[in-house]
Amino acid sequence: MGEVRDCPTCGSLFSYSGLREVCGPCATAEEKKYDEVYAFLRRRENRAATIERIVEVTGADPGLLHKWVKKGRIQTALFPNLGYPCDQCGRLTVEGKLCGDCRDELENGLELFEAAKDFRQRIADSEKGTYHRGHN
């Protein structure tokens, strides 16, 4: 049983089967675009093309390119300048939701956060100690 959804590309209703996120005509158009993009990328001199360049040449939507990279339909091992934007800073990344820098920052931030929590806890404990001592 299908579920009726809005096509995110053209806004028309279509029955969602779980196989694709867009309506039939948009899916066909996407596939056509994919063939076009892939034909462009297959040429040796275009291996290092950037997303901007591909968009310029093929007229493909950058969001589509990001989606294909995410789904592994375009392999970044072959095309080193492709990726999709990091959730945090928008720079291109090829794995996870965040780029390497933001992942590092997040990890450092967490460590700092833990350290600060620890520190505050110790102060709170010692204050409590003083408080109790003062009143008992």
For residues 28-47, which are near Zn ion according to CB under 5 A?
A: none
Q: Does 7 bind Zn ion (CB under 5 A)?
A: yes
Q: Tell the smallest beta-carbon distance from residue 30 to Zn ion (Å).
A: 9
List the one residue from 13, 89, 112, 124 that touches Zn ion (CB under 5 A). 89
Q: Tell the smallest beta-carbon distance from residue 74 to Zn ion (Å).
A: 20
List the one residue from 41, 54, 60, 102 that touches Zn ion (CB under 5 A). 102
Q: Does 51 bind Zn ion (CB under 5 A)?
A: no
The residue (of 7 and 69) whose beta carbon lies closer to Zn ion is 7
SS (H, E, C) the chain: CCEEEECCCCCCEEEECCCCCCCHHHHHHHHHHHHHHHHHHHCHHHCCCCHHHHHHHHCCCHHHHHHHHHCCCCCCCCCCCCCEECCCCCCEECCCCCCHHHHHHHHHHHHHHHHHHHHHHHHHHHHHHHHHHHHC
Contact indicator for 99, 89 with CB cutoff of 8 Å: yes
Q: Does 64 bind Zn ion (CB under 5 A)?
A: no
Q: Does 106 bind Zn ion (CB under 5 A)?
A: no
- Site residues for Zn ion per CB under 5 A: 7, 9-10, 23, 26, 86, 88-89, 91, 99, 102
